[in-house]
Amino acid sequence: MSKTYAPLNPPRRLLYGPGPTMVDPRVYQAMTKTVVSHLDPYFFEVVEDCREMLRTAFGTTNEFTLAMSGTGSAGMQTAVANFVEPGSKFVVLANGFFCDRISEMGRRQGANVVRLEKAWGEAFDEAEAAAFIRAERPSVVGFVQAETSTGVFQTSKAICAAAHEVGALVIADCVTSLGTMPVELDANGIDIAYSCTQKGLSCPPGLAPVTVSPKAMEWLRNRKTTPADWYLDLKLLADYYEGARRYHHTAPISLFYALREGLLCIHEEGIEQRWARHKAAHEAFVAGIEAMGMEMHVKAGQRLTSLNTPRVPEGIEDLKVRKRLLAATDMEILGGFGPLAGKVFRVGIMGPLATEENVIALVAGLETALREEGFAAKGSGVEAAKAAYAAVVA
């Protein structure tokens, strides 16, 4: 007898983790539209709309801006494979898991990877990092602007200036900042940046926005060695997306529909209004956490507004809290890993969930789950979060 399978019926979750995050209902609707060929003129119209709106989100005028077929890690691999040559020196500012990942990708390209280290949860002092770059004189500098493993935001203007002084290109990981806070590539001097669709852009996973400055594109066109990675070779992809529309691969059409709709949602809201909405949600959540007597792992002024890392209270097991929260409210948050395993919660408040109603519900649910695990809150997190929102309105 052949096996029968139940109809697809995934559970309803409220995704307050670091990603994937909630998908806007309009994006789901866009994915139901008729698939056309990956060489159809209409597909390239969709691609051009995505490229134009991505430039606004990245804060750049870079002509070479596109979405790679693959997740955020494919964006990272694209940056490293195209701009880090075998035998070159690659400086990485390492303060979290994704700095470690970009370092490993550099090693696999045959680069000499040199790291400046910070503890997970600390940002680099720009002057210190700039001095390191001037001393090492690398070909490429890599850093994570938005470190998903820790909740740290890394400023970079002096870092980029020092890199350019020694003739280096700068790669930035903007996976958890794009669409939720100012990325400002051109203002900072970042040459190559990448992100993903499943976090601040409120789309399903599967595409990785990448943008490259004119200077970096000129370097790439003059590169003497051929990148080892054929699929992510940007010169080949330029022929597909920009030049002769020469076949390269079968692009995921429905995911491009989704990205266009997600970016259109941002365009209609206004990018600065979207940043402000995420900042308000972050500040209200932090107010609630601190009112309960908990601490944030990252210092004020160095925090992502999209990804929060409150410390797990002494004597509390983070997994038990997260299981209680999920069972009672369908809200998913995640824990730390690496040196932060069991020490922090990772709480993403992005896209459709970055509203007063949803932040208050999250703080209330978390407060209840913590109390049921034995944590005695010092004050009301819900009231503090409400007060924070009231202050924004006032």
Within 10 Å of residue 53's Cβ, how many Cβ atoms? 22
Q: Would you say how long the chain is, in residues?
A: 394
Answer whether 358's CB lies under 8 Å from 331's CB.
Answer: no
Report pLDDT digits (tens) over 165-176. 999 999 999 999
Give the pLDDT band of residue 354 (cuts 50, 70, 90).
very high
The pair of three-digit structure tokens given for residue 40, joined into one six-digit string = 């159809």
- Give pLDDT, residue 394: 65
271-393: which CATH topology? Aspartate Aminotransferase, domain 1 (3.90.1150)
Give the pLDDT band of residue 245 (cuts 50, 70, 90).
confident
Mean per-residue pLDDT, 183-202: 98
Give the pLDDT band of residue 118 (cuts 50, 70, 90).
very high
Q: Where in the chain is the domain with CATH 3.40.640.10?
A: 25-267
Cα–Cα distance, 294 to 288 (Å, whole number):
9
- Give pLDDT, residue 343: 98
Tokens 């806007």 belong to: 24
Within 10 Å of residue 235's Cβ, how many Cβ atoms? 14
Instruction: State the average pLDDT for the chain.
Output: 96
Tokens 């956490």 belong to: 289
- Give pLDDT, residue 227: 92
Residue 66 has pLDDT above 90, yes or no: yes
Residue 10 has pLDDT above 90, yes or no: yes
Residue predicted with more confidence, 247 or 56: 56
Q: Where in the chain is the domain with CATH 3.90.1150.10?
A: 271-393
Please state which CATH number belongs to domain 25-267. 3.40.640.10
Residue 244 has pLDDT above 80, yes or no: no
Amino acid, res. 140 = V
Q: Where are the beta strands (DSSP E) in the chain?
A: 14-15, 64-69, 89-94, 112-117, 140-144, 146-147, 152-153, 169-173, 192-194, 207-212, 307-308, 331-332, 334-335, 345-348
Select from 304, 303, 67 the least CA-distant residue to 198: 67
Amino acid, res. 259 = L
Give the pLDDT band of residue 239 (cuts 50, 70, 90).
confident
Answer whether 309's CB lies under 8 Å from 339's CB.
Answer: no
